[in-house]
Amino acid sequence: MEKRKRRKAPLIILMVLAVFISLGAGMAIGRSGMVPDSVTEILTPDQPDMPSGNGQAPEVNLNPVPEYTDGGYETTEIFEKVNPSVVSINVYAGKSVSPISSGTGIVMTEDGYIITNAHVVDGGSSVNIVFEDDTQMRGTIVGADADTDIAVIKVTATGLTAAEFGDSSTLKIGERVVAIGNAGGLSGTCTQGIISGLNRDMDAGSRSLALIQTSAAINPGNSGGPLVNRYGQVIGITSSKIAATDYEGIGFAIPITEAMPIIQSLIENGYVTGRAVLGVQVIELNESNGPMNGLPRRGMYIASIESYSDLRMKGVRERDVIVEANGVELYSTDDLMEQLLKFSPGDTMNLGIYRPETGETFHVDVKLVESR
């Protein structure tokens, strides 16, 4: 019996029939057991047709918590302070009259940069922004990063009410927080809770983030909206929740301190620079979907290889399985991502490749490319 590594939270949760969802179009997030049709993890440059950024990114301060020890603002005061910086987002594709998705955004700068989730704008070609006073503007997608579920939109405007941002690295479990957003299409919805957990690795994309867990009620439409501390500072971007009959009050937000470098790179370049990828789409194998398809019980099944990937040059092909990376046995996509994070584009990574047709494993040195 092969030794199995301890799995991360979403797999355990899914085994007890909960659903971990993103909160724009209500898309379920999990791992597929189908081979080879369902590609659930992407380790390849994504969205190459996205805009290429707008140039110099604005400076945004992450303010410390005020140096007084009272309980902070009342919830009504927090809402009055933050809601003018919260927008509703409707996303359209092609010539569609009805939006394909909707969500929430946070005004980051007075001159029109707005933060939201990547899954809110995914597949869209036109974005309509609705402000607190019902003013509507057309927005342009500056960049989106599916790996971390962060996107930036730009509207042509000046004098907007920008949110105040806090330092999420100083958060403590039990702190009071407020979520504001377009929940269920109801703009300006405000809910309150506490920080229920920190550094929750929910693995909602091909790169995991240490998410904030909160008991504040989160619903579809909240995606991309602010999670705010008791002083009215945005400390997180609401992104997902666990939705099931037996689960209540388990929502998640992307910490703003981790999100800000990604946001800056999206504004400057349209994508996140410096990420090394293999240029493949893979499916994680396990005790069930591997053997029933004549494949190993672990490893990353290669569903497709991009034309620019060095894997093609090294004789690797679709249906092969990546079983090792730098001598480390692979049981999950997290294992592979952990190794990739040690490298920069242009570096070389050693991979162990299993070929089902022959039952043999061979090793190749593959040059990594930059994710775009």
DSSP secondary structure string for all residues of 31-66: ----SSS---EEES---TTS----SSPPP--EEPPP
- Are the beta carbons of 129 and 155 closer than 8 angstroms? yes
Annotated catalytic residue within 122, 145, 147, 149: 149
Asked if residues 63 and 166 have their Cβ atoms less than 8 Å apart, the reply is yes
Q: Would you call 149 a catalytic residue per the annotation?
A: yes
- CA dist 102 to 106, 130, 152, 177, 267, Å? 14, 11, 15, 23, 22
Q: Indicate if 101 belongs to the active site.
A: no
Structure tokens at 221: 């439409």
What is the C-alpha separation between 355 and 296, in angstroms, rounded? 10
Can you read off the two tokens belonging to residue 98? 């009805």
Residue 158 burial class via C-beta count within 10 angstroms: exposed 0-12, middle 13-18, buried 19 and up: exposed
**Non-local CB neighbours of 220 within 8 Å, separated by 6+ positions:** 21, 23, 24, 25, 26, 183, 184
Q: Using CA atoms, how far apart are residues 112 and 226, in angstroms rounded to an integer?
A: 16
* Structure-derived torsion over alpha carbons of residues 119, 16, 203, 338, reported in degrees to the nearest 10: -160
The sign of the torsion formed by the CA atoms of 152, 157, 159, 161 equals negative
Place of tokens 């089902």: 356
Query: Is residue 226 reached through a cis peptide bond, with omega within 30 degrees of 0 on the bond before it?
Result: no
Residue tagged active-site, from 22, 85, 102, 119: 119
CB neighbours of 324 closer than 8 A, spacing ≥ 6? 330, 350, 351, 352, 361, 363
Nearest Cα to 91, choosing from 189, 182, 191, 211? 182
Catalytic, 119? Answer yes
**Sequential DSSP letters for 294-327:** T--SSSEEEEEE-TT-HHHHTT--TT-EEEEETT
> Any idea which residues carry the catalytic annotation?
119, 149, 223
